[in-house]
Amino acid sequence: MKLKKIVEAAAAVAVIHDGDVVASAGYGGNGTPDQLFVALEQRFVESGTPRGLTLVFSTGQGDMKERGLNRLAHEGLVRRVIGGYFVGVPCMLGKEGVENVFELNLTDPERTAFQQSIDHVKELCAQVEKLLARD
């Protein structure tokens, strides 16, 4: 396959094989390669491949709902995760991929502190989006 400088998302994820390491960057919805996650998820759902990926990231990527890394929460797709921020990944990953999807049972003070942290991140993301809109 001849490599081009710019390729479609489906073509980019087509070269990912079982057991490969996939690294991504971004924070929240900023700079996150969401179209690649969409294409990778679609490929896995349709074909069952690739399987057993190692996912490497430094910060949470997505909206803590259905975007970003949450798209990769399919049993068998991811085997190992090396990451620095897991708020947006509401599942337990193990040697076979997703082992359990869970919700946190927080005390009222913990819930308040957690919500404040989320609000600060959302505020920061909104400020970044405003800065980017100026360009």
Closest CA to 23 of 63, 82, 111: 82
DSSP letter at 49? -
Per the model's pLDDT, the better-predicted residue between 46 and 126 turns out to be 46
Residues 117 and 62 in one domain: no
Mind giving me the DSSP string for 78-96? EEEEEES--TT--EEEETT
Residues 56 and 24 in one domain: yes
Per the model's pLDDT, the better-predicted residue between 97 and 129 turns out to be 129
Residues 23 and 69 in one domain: yes
Residues 50 and 65 in one domain: yes
Q: Identify whether 47 is part of a domain.
A: yes
Q: Is residue 42 very low, low, confident or very high in pLDDT (cuts 50, 70, 90)?
A: very high
Residues 64 and 129 in one domain: no
Longest dimension (CA), the chain: 56
Domain that holds residue 94: 9-103
Per the model's pLDDT, the better-predicted residue between 91 and 122 turns out to be 122
Q: Identify whether 45 is part of a domain.
A: yes
Q: Identify whether 4 is part of a domain.
A: no
pLDDT at 68: 79
Q: Identify whether 38 is part of a domain.
A: yes
Beta strands in 9-70 (DSSP E): 21-23, 53-57
Report the C-alpha gap between 64 and 88 in whole angstroms. 4
pTM greater than 0.75: no
Residues 92 and 108 in one domain: no
Q: Identify whether 36 is part of a domain.
A: yes
Q: Identify whether 96 is part of a domain.
A: yes
Residues 108 and 97 in one domain: no
Q: Is residue 105 very low, low, confident or very high in pLDDT (cuts 50, 70, 90)?
A: confident
Q: Identify whether 76 is part of a domain.
A: yes
Q: How many domains does the chain have?
A: 2
Residues 97 and 119 in one domain: no
